């Protein structure tokens, strides 16, 4: 089983939504047993719930994020096959802190083939979260296509 990890700052918005969306995509394709999905934050407060607007937007997608608990990135991330960061600063942090992760850390956009960063919706309205969720879905579908070729 492969393991894919998503990383952002607090693990309450972007990476938690990416984890949930990717898990749903895998489930919808019947591939949930082939890829394990997790998410972490580089500055997460352990146990913090997903942000209210992240929960609302995921509800619109038929996903329940109420049980999400933020996790601080640790050496456990090194057992991942693929680590997808939301911004260049997240990628740089991971590589500086965990040099052994080199070769498996990418920006989500970079791995998806369109290189853009995923901006942080924290503290903004539902419409901004919805835009981020749509961007994540687009990039995650490309990630899934790429993983199927590997």
pLDDT confidence of residue 5: 98
Residues annotated catalytic, as ranges: 8, 14, 120
CA 9 → CA 45, 74, 93, distances in Å? 10, 13, 10
Among candidate residues 109, 34, 114, 101, the one with its CA nearest the CA of residue 73: 101
pTM as predicted: 0.97
pLDDT confidence of residue 147: 93
In DSSP terms, 35 is beta-bridged to 2
pLDDT confidence of residue 130: 98
pLDDT confidence of residue 148: 87
Among candidate residues 32, 35, 3, 52, the one with its CA nearest the CA of residue 16: 52
For residues 16 and 69, what is the distance between their CA atoms, to the nearest angstrom? 9
Burial of 4 (0-12, 13-18, 19+ CB in 10 A): buried
For residues 1 and 110, what is the distance between their CA atoms, to the nearest angstrom? 23
In DSSP terms, 105 is beta-bridged to 83
pLDDT tens string 39-78: 999 999 999 999 999 999 999 999 999 999 999 999 999 9
DSSP state for residue 87 in the 8-state scheme: S
Residue ranges, the chain, pLDDT below 50: none
pLDDT confidence of residue 115: 85
For residues 32 and 144, what is the distance between their CA atoms, to the nearest angstrom? 12
Three-class DSSP category at 93: helix
| Domains in the chain, CATH or no CATH each | 2-149 (3.40.50.2300)
For residues 138 and 132, what is the distance between their CA atoms, to the nearest angstrom? 10
Is the separation of the CB atoms in 42 and 7 below 8 Å?
yes
């Amino acid at each position: 089983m492969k393991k894919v990890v998503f990383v952002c700052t607090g693990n309450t918005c972007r990476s938690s939504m990416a984890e949930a969306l990717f898990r749903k995509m895998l489930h919808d394709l019947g591939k949930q047993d082939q890829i394990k999905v997790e998410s972490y934050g580089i500055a997460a407060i352990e146990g913090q719930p997903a942000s209210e607007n992240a929960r609302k937007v995921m509800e619109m997608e038929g996903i329940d994020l109420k049980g999400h608990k933020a996790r601080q990135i640790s050496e456990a991330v090194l057992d991942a096959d693929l680590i997808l960061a939301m911004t260049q600063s997240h990628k740089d942090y991971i590589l500086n802190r965990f040099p052994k992760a080199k070769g498996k850390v990418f920006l989500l956009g970079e791995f998806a083939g369109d290189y853009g960063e995923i901006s942080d919706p924290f503290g903004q309205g539902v419409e901004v979260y919805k835009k981020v969720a749509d961007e994540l879905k687009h990039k995650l579908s490309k990630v899934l296509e790429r993983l199927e070729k590997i």
